[in-house]
Structure 1
Amino acid sequence: MNPAARLSEVSQVFGDFTAVDRLDLDIEAGKLTTLLGPSGCGKTTTLRMLAGYTRPTSGRIEIGGRDATALPPEKRNLGMVFQSYALFPHLSVGENVGYGLKLRKVAGPERRRRVAEALDMVGLGHLGDRKPKALSGGQQQRVALARAIAIQPEILLLDEPLSNLDARLRLQMRSEIRRIQQQTGLTVVLVTHDQEEALEMSDVMVLMRSGKIMQKDTPQEVFERPTDRFVAEFMGYENFFATREHASATVRPENLRLLGHEAALDDGAHGFPAVVTQVAYRGVDLMVRATATDAAGDDVELVAAVRADSGTRLEPGARVTAGIRTADLVPLAG
C-alpha cells in the first residue's frame, strides 16, 4: 500500500538553525503516527511543513502520491487541530464544525448531515447551538476535533492537542481520539512530547532529535528495544553500563535485581557488585539507588524498583549484587 504521505530529504533551515535535517518519512495510511521528542527537535516544524503552513527549504512532500511541496494548506485536504483549538467565538458549535465544509461549498443538507455526524462522533450532538465560550476546555477540544473530521481529510494533523487540558481530561481525550481514529480508519499524525501519550495512542512512533529521526517503530519495539542512549533515556531507562563484552547496554529499573552480595547469578546473567546509597518508599515499590563499577571499570549509578512486599532488606551502605537477566538486557548502539 502506498503511504498517505511521504517526506523525502526534507529540510527546514531558519538562518543558522537547521530545524529539520534531510528527513525521510512515510506516513502509513490508516495508522496513527506520533512525532515525539523534546522541545526543539523538529516535530512541530515537520507537521507544519506537511500541513503547508511552512514550505521546506529543500526536499519533496507527497500527499496521496501527488507532489504537494508547493501547495497551500487549503489545497491539501488535510484536517488540523491546534493547541489553542482556534474556534470562532461568534459562531455556534455547529457553525464552527461546518466552517470548513462551507468554504468547500458543500451544499446545505449535506453540510448539516456531516456536521451532525461529526458532533455525534465526539459526543457533542446535543450542543450544536451553543457558543464556544459556554463549553469546557475538553468540550472545545472535541469541537475542534469534529471540525477537522467533518471535511473528511486525507490526513488529520494534531499539534499537541491535549497540552491545555488537565490530567483527567488528557487521559479521557487520548482514549477518544484513538477510538475515533480506529472507528473511521483515518490517517492521523500526532505531535507530542509525552512518551506515555505516544505509547498509548500510536500505531507508529517516530522519535526525533535535532531535526533527525532517531527511531521509528511500533510503540512496543521503541519501548522494549531502544536503539541508542538518547532513545532509552527518553523512554525512561535510567541504568547505563558496559557489559562484560564491553558493549553499551541498559536495563529498566523494574528489571534490575538487587541480590545478596554473594548470591549466585543465573547462567548467562550479567551482574556486578554494588553498594546501596538511597532507599525511597513509593507505595507499591521501593526506589533503590546504588553505585557500582561496570565491566569496563567505570563507576555507574544504578536505579532499581523493588517491590515493597518482597521481603528484601535494603538500606544505605548494604553490599549487593546487581543482577540482570540476559532477556532484560537491552544493547545500545555507540
Structure 2
Amino acid sequence: MTIAAEFIGVSQVFGDFTAVDAIDLSITEGKLTTLLGPSGCGKTTSLRMLAGYSTPTSGTIKIAGVDSTRTPPEKRGLGMVFQSYALFPHLTVAENVAYGLKLRRVPAAERQKTVMETLDLVGLAHLAASKPKKLSGGQQQRVALARAIAIKPTLLLLDEPLSNLDARLRVQMRAEIRRIQAETGLTVVLVTHDQDEALEMSDDMVLMRAGRIMQQGSPQDVFRSPANRFVADFLGYENFVHTAAGDLLAVRPEHLEVTAASTGGSDGLRLEGRIADVAFRGVDLLVTVDAIDASGARVRLISDVRSTGSDILAVGDDVTVSAAAGRLVPLAG
C-alpha cells in the first residue's frame, strides 16, 4: 500500500477558531478517499491545505513522501474541481480542458491528443467546440473533471462537486466519477457532507467533527461498526439506549421492530413503550415510540416498519419495541 499524501499533526487556526485540530491522515494511492462531515467540521479546510491554497498553522503535509507543506499550489501537480466548476465562459469545451496543458507548455499536437482522449473519457468529445453556457449542469461538471484529469495529476481533489446538481444527476455522476477513477487509477480526495455519496463512492471514508477525525476506514467497516455516538448518529442509526450497566447501544430504525405490548422476543433489546407518532411513507411507516431504557432514562425510538395497508399501529398504542442482539451496536460514547 503506497501513501499518496499524508497529514502529520496538521492544525489550522483562524484567530480563536480551530478549524483543523492536529489531525493525522493517510491517503492511499489509487483509491478514492472521502472527507465526510457536517458544515464546519474541517473537511474543506483540510482539502484546501492539501491543495496548497491554505498553509497549516502547524504540522506537516507530505505528497508522494515529500514535505509539501509550503509548496505553492501550481507546483504540487494536483487537479481540483470546485463546487462552482469555475469554467471559462469565453472558451470552448476543448479550450477549457486544454488550459492546464497550455500553462505547462505541452506541445500543440500532444495537447490536442490529450484533450480529445480526456473528453472521450468523460463522454463529451462531441461537444468539444461548444461553449459552457450551452451545456447542462452535469455536462459542465464533466468538463471541469476533464480539465482536472488532463494534466495527469498526482491527486485529484473534488470539493462538493455534486452539490449543484439535481438528485437524478447526482446519482448518475457518482457512478461516473467512480468509473473514471477506476479506469484512470487516479488518487481522488472527495469532500462531501452527504453520507450516501460517501458510502457509495469511497474506498476509504474519513468522518470529521469539529476539526478532528472521528473515524477512518472502509465504508463497510465504518457503517457496521461506528466508533462513537456521533458517527452512528451521522450515519443514520437514530436510536440510542443504555443498558442497566450504563453501556451505550445503537440500533438502526429498519432493525427495530414494533409489536403489540407484551409480545416480541426476549433476546437482544426489548422495551415497553407508547406510540407518539406514525408517519405514512408509502411502502413503509415511520413509527416513533416513547419508552424507558434499562438504565431508567426516557428515550424516543424510531422504527421503519413495512406498511401493510392497514392501520394496525396508532398514536397512543402501548407497544413493545425489540431488536435482535446481532442488530445492536455497542458504542464508545
Compute the TM-score of the two structures, normalised by the length of structure 1: 0.97
RMSD: 1.3
* 2: CA distance, partners of 1:69 / 1:168: 39
The offset of 1:311, in angstroms, is: 7.0
Moved more, 25-34 or 235-244: 235-244
Does structure 1 retain, via aligned residues, the 8 Å contact 2:6–2:27? yes
Residues 283 and 307 in structure 2, CA contact (< 8 A), matched pair in contact too: yes
Structure 2 match to 1:14: 14
Q: Offset of 1:108 from its aligned partner? A: 1.2
- Equivalent residues in 2 for 1:1-334 (5 A)? 1-266=1-266, 268-309=267-308, 313-334=312-333
Q: How many residues align?
A: 333
Q: Following TM superposition, by how much is the alpha carbon of 1:245 offset from its aligned partner in structure 2, in angstroms?
A: 3.4
Structure 1: gaps (5+ residues): none
Q: Could you list the per-position Cα deviations for residues 33-60 of structure 1 after superposition, in whole angstroms to 9, with x for gaps in the alignment? A: 0001111100000000000000111100
**Structure 2 residues not aligned, in runs of 5+:** none
What TM-score do the two structures reach when normalised by structure 2? Answer: 0.97
| Residues 51 and 73, structure 2, Cα contact 8 Å, conserved in 1 | yes
Q: Is the 8 A contact 1:2 1:65 kept in 2?
A: no
Which has the higher mean CA deviation after the structures are superposed, 73-82 or 89-98? Answer: 89-98
Question: What is the percent sequence identity of the aligned residues?
Answer: 63
What is the DSSP-based 3-state SS (H/G/I as helix, E as strand, rest coil) of the residue aligned with 1:26?
strand
Cα deviations by residue, 1:155-206 (Å, 9 ceiling, x for unpaired): 1000001111111111111111011011111100000111111111111110
Poorly superposed stretches of 4+, deviation over 4 Å: none
Contact 1:243–1:270 (Cα < 8 Å) also in 2 = no
Distance 1:59 1:162 in 2: 31
SS in 2 for 1:4: strand
How far 1:310 sits from its partner (Å)? 8.6
Read off the aligned partner of 1:184 and give its amino acid letter: T
Judge conservation of contact 1:12–1:21 (CA < 8 Å) in 2: yes
Instruction: Tell me the distance in 2 between the aligned counterparts of 1:279 and 1:167.
Output: 27
| Distance in 2 between residues matched to 1:50 and 1:232, nearest whole Å | 28
